[in-house]
Amino acid sequence: MIRLLFVFVILASTSFASSQADLIYDFRFDQSSYSAEAGSTFSVDIIFRETATEGENLMFFTAPTGLTSLGPVRVTYQPVGPATDVLQVADEADIEVGGLFTGLSFKLIDNPNFVSEVGGENSSGIKIGSNATFHEVNLATITFTVVGAPGQSSLLGLNPNDFGEVFFNNEIFPAATASFGSATFSVVAVPEPSSIAMVGFAIAAGGLQWRRRRAKRS
């Protein structure tokens, strides 16, 4: 029901006049790789970028209200075998829709299938200045909980929603008109207390030698 309401709001948004075929749309993560310790949390940003290819007006600007709706976009976090469960999204509070999307938001979590979805709406419109060849906005920030063991990994992916489409303002366009990025994640080991102690001892020993050499010079 929430999904249908979100789609309805997108379809009811103000229309714009320009050809989407001449513009490039990219959904990507803010990094190409991530790592974190087992039992910890880490966050990723989902970036939407629009690029003009031949001096076209970007759609954030050509519509009277700018960019009004975006998404839902599917975020996958599939474990790499033989791991069976590496990352989870604890609850909807861990999916934060970008601050520019001040209206209706859409969030979905399906940890058993390693999928979440997110979308945002701003009825006032997100505008950019003129004469820009590209612009990007932060669609959302997702915080993952690391449930895997050291050495395990996951492949993070951005994909069209399960309708196979992306919603942009009041338009619905197929996935072929946009590119969707990916990233890797690795679980790293927590340093052993003995290793930390050895590092501390080495630093202390080095400091002691430095003080002795300084004392001999004086």
Query: Going residue by residue through the chain (218 aa), what tens digit of pLDDT does each one get?
Result: 555 445 444 444 333 334 444 778 899 999 999 999 999 999 999 999 988 887 777 767 766 778 888 889 999 999 999 999 999 999 999 999 999 999 999 999 999 999 999 999 998 888 887 677 888 999 999 999 999 999 999 999 999 887 777 788 767 766 667 899 999 999 999 876 655 556 555 676 566 676 666 666 66
CATH of domain 2-190: 2.60.40.680
pLDDT of residue 19: 47
188 and 37 in contact (C-beta within 8 Å)?
yes
Single pTM value for the model: 0.78
- Residue 15's SS3 state is coil
CA angle 114, 182, 104 (to 5 degrees): 65
Question: Where do the domains of the chain lie?
Answer: 2-190
